Chain A
Amino acid sequence: MISFEEVSKTYPGGQQALVKVNFHIAPGEMAFLTGHSGAGKSTLLKLISIMERPSVGKVLINGHDLNTITRRQIAYIRRDIGMIFQSHQLLMDKTAFDNVALPLVIEGYTHKEINKRVMAALEMVGLHDKAKYFPMMLSGGEQQRIGIARAVVNKPPILLADEPTGNLDPKLSMEIIKLFEEFNRAGVSVLIATHDLGLIARMRYRTLTLRRGRMITDGLTESEGDML
């Protein structure tokens, strides 16, 4: 589903964020991406959502080379990728409902369809009774779940999460991860970047580890052993 082939990213100024990264995530797989702050986790996710372009190498999604995607096509790529951020990236002057509805409005769904899907997504994250609330009236965990509802409302085949549990306590973090597991069971490929090693240790998922821009393990050996 997601493939990196010899991908390096050097930022202007010479900072090497990623060095010759190779890995492949299969369709319907759920994996964690870990490493210290500044190891290149965010850069890696940005290369998938084309917020950055690789300096060298190829990023492929479903066999399509992202280097061939033009500026104008980026928007359509992002509709296939649900993105979740540590800082939620919610619109503070819009209700939870309107926030979740945004991807559907952009894609031109009918009013009826939007209503149905947004309520279903809010139901999934357990916030259907807070549709009319503004983000400021919600707790950190609830805000994060609104962000997740927005990411999955148009049923993308790929879900990327950048430190989704960053500000949450372990219990809330676990709830969020459980949500991701649910989506994964529905066939969505999920890649979660986190430095919360304790959280990962409690889960038995493939873990890719970055250190100073290099992938020191792509987690295949351990996870294969675990699965067998």
Chain B
Amino acid sequence: MQHHKKSAKQAVIENYAALVRRVTPKSKVGQGCLRSFWVGGAICVLGQAIADFGINYLGLTASSASTFASMSLVFITALLTGIGIFDRIARYAGAGTVVPISGFANAMVSPAMEFKPEGWVLGTGARMFTIAGPVLVYGIASSVIVGILYYFIQW
């Protein structure tokens, strides 16, 4: 009896989920991917251009040029976020702005601005990492694991 009752409730929930799926408008997958593709590609091209500029005109090594490009993209993102343009681009581009380093920078800059009314320490200082913190946690932790494994097995 108890079992029967439970499955009846489950059936109601499943039927409702099907109704919701039918009524909810679908995302435009093709359009979304195309926009992400060209904006994301363009951001990478900009990164390459900055790196080449660093190598050719600033005398940077290839690896410093790559760091220089990342930092420049972070700076551009911070500026565009500050003047309220980045979210407009992101609304159009979706993952095109999320996946490049610009997405990481925006994830730090936007809460830093947003939570200023809560104070410089617990607002801006602490909340800066609400979205970007997990990226650092999982990125750094997994790199440490890789380093330790490499120490022992040196593949």
Real binding pair: no
